[in-house]
């Protein structure tokens, strides 16, 4: 038995001895002795040393100071509040509300900067008016447009070709509700772009062009337009750049055959009928795309498409200057090799490894093709060293890579043998 327990054993009362029978000094615990415990409570372990209080206190103070300095640095210099649409909110370090307030404030400023540059465009075509029975232009559809230039008393709007297609008159509605007459300067079916002119007197601002090539996937973008007509004018949707350099097959003449591959930006910002021709802008308020279409299959959600502004600019400039886009032409009619039955392909005597190409079915007079010596049933397989699989790839090479007056080298198969042809391209609206 240790000293501690021995001392305690000596202090126990004898059986039947009342507590008060001993002198008070014998059962009162002196201030310098261990405190008394009931018999049911086991004796405590000796207390631990408390020598670490001051170092712990110092460490806590130092850690708190470091956290305060870090949060002060992240929150920016001398900026105690973040603006919202209705007032201000204290920018307390460590509160999650700070991020959402900042983002909302930025979006609001971007929209305020850009929204009055987006207009509504109504396509008017002649038809019988039910009430007056007069033959007057009637609204058959509407879309959106973007004011991009003001010069010499005129203002210019870029929109989609399909928004103004076959219009006999155009009505432009500004963001404040002002209506004015629009004049079609020119349009291009291949890129689905058009330019409209209005009186510049009531136009207060125009949008700034951005750089669509500099966009990154995941970057925030904003779509502004008039979905479902002017009743929802100036609608704003927010998303991200979902993809770049997308190629979408387009059937321009609605004959069930793909005529063109449109190069577009993909975004998940909501784009609906009526948004066509509207603005896709970045967080600097710059125009980086013209909203054009969306994929509407039942199994697809959140795929909107826009024409990159870097591809649109050369077309916009040509439409503004000449009313049309002058594209190079060869002067031939063509058909895809894939569309020719195997029995007829044997007439061409092509090598077995030639599966793709474009067949010349007619050569027109006084054209670059005739001058260069192109013949009927020549099968085009390369242009300037690039493979040509079908008419879509041929069009893209001619329209995107070449200009009027350029030289072009073609590789064709004639009677089963490879032939190289050089020609100088001229302007025209066909191949």
d(CA 15, CA 20): 14
The separation between the first and the last C-alpha atoms of the chain, rounded to the nearest angstrom, is 113
d(CA 223, CA 6): 88
Question: Between vectors from CA 296 to CA 293 and to CA 300, what angle results, nearest 5°?
Answer: 120
Nearest to 187 by CA among 366, 323, 58: 323
Q: What is the DSSP string of 126-195?
A: EEE-TTT--EEEEEEEEEEEEEEEEETTEEEEEE-HHHHTT-SEEEEE-TTS-EEEEEEEEEETTTTEEE
Catalytic positions are 162, 192, 276
Up-side HSE of residue 223: CA atoms within 13 Å toward CB? 34
Are 109 and 283 within 8 A, CB to CB? no
Reduced to 3 states, what is the DSSP secondary structure of residue 50?
Answer: coil
User: Could you tell me whether strands 260-267 and 208-209 are parallel, antiparallel, or unpaired per DSSP bridges?
Assistant: unpaired
Question: Between vectors from CA 218 to CA 212 and to CA 220, what angle results, nearest 5°?
Answer: 70
Reduced to 3 states, what is the DSSP secondary structure of residue 248?
Answer: strand
Query: Residue 138: beta bridge partners?
Result: 125
Q: How far is CA 100 from the centre of its chain?
A: 21
Up-side HSE of residue 225: CA atoms within 13 Å toward CB? 36
b/e map 331-368, b = 16+ CB within 10 Å = bbebebbeebeeeebeebebeeeeeebbbbeebbeebb
Question: Between vectors from CA 49 to CA 46 and to CA 54, what angle results, nearest 5°?
Answer: 155
User: Could you tell me whether strands 135-151 and 118-128 are parallel, antiparallel, or unpaired per DSSP bridges?
Assistant: antiparallel
d(CA 89, CA 230): 35
Residue 43 burial (10 A CB sphere; 0-12, 13-18, 19+): exposed
């Amino acid at each position: 038995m240790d000293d501690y327990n021995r001392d305690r054993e000596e202090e126990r009362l004898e059986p039947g001895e009342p507590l008060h029978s001993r002198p008070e000094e014998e059962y009162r615990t002196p201030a310098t002795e261990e405190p008394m415990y009931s018999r049911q409570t086991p004796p405590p372990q000796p207390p631990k040393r408390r020598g670490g209080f001051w170092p712990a206190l110092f460490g806590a103070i130092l850690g708190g100071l470091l956290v305060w300095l870090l949060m002060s640095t992240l929150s920016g210099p001398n900026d105690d509040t973040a603006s919202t649409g209705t007032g201000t909110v204290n920018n307390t370090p460590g509160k999650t509300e700070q991020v959402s307030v900042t983002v909302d404030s930025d979006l609001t400023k971007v929209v305020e900067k850009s929204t009055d540059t987006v207009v509504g465009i109504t396509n008017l075509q002649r038809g019988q008016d039910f009430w007056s029975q007069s033959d007057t232009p009637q609204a058959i559809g509407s879309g959106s447009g973007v004011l991009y230039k003001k010069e010499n008393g005129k203002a210019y709007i870029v929109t989609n070709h399909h928004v103004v297609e076959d219009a006999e008159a155009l009505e432009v509605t500004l963001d404040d509700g002002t209506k004015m007459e629009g004049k079609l300067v020119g349009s291009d079916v291949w890129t689905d772009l058009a330019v409209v002119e209005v009186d510049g007197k009531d136009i207060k601002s125009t949008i700034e062009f951005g750089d669509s090539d500099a966009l990154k996937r995941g970057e925030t973008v904003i779509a502004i337009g008039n979905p479902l007509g002017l009743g929802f004018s100036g609608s704003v949707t927010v998303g991200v750049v979902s993809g770049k350099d997308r190629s979408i097959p387009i059937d321009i003449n609605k004959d069930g055959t793909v005529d063109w591959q449109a190069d577009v930006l993909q975004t998940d910002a909501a784009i609906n009928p009526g948004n066509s021709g509207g603005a896709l802008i970045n967080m600097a308020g710059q125009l980086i795309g013209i909203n054009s279409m969306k994929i509407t299959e039942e199994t697809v959600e959140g795929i909107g498409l826009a024409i990159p502004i870097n591809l649109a600019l050369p077309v916009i400039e040509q439409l503004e200057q000449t009313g049309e886009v002058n594209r190079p032409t060869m002067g031939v009619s063509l058909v895809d090799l894939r569309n020719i039955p195997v029995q007829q392909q044997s007439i061409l005597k092509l090598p077995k490894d030639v599966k793709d190409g474009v067949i010349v079915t007619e050569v027109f007079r006084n054209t670059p093709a005739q001058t260069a010596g192109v013949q009927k049933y020549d099968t085009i397989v390369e242009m300037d060293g690039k493979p040509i699989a079908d008419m879509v790839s041929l069009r893209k090479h001619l329209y995107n890579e070449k200009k009027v007056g350029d030289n072009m080298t073609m590789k064709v198969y004639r009677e089963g043998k490879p032939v190289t042809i050089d020609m100088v391209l001229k302007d025209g609206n066909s191949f």
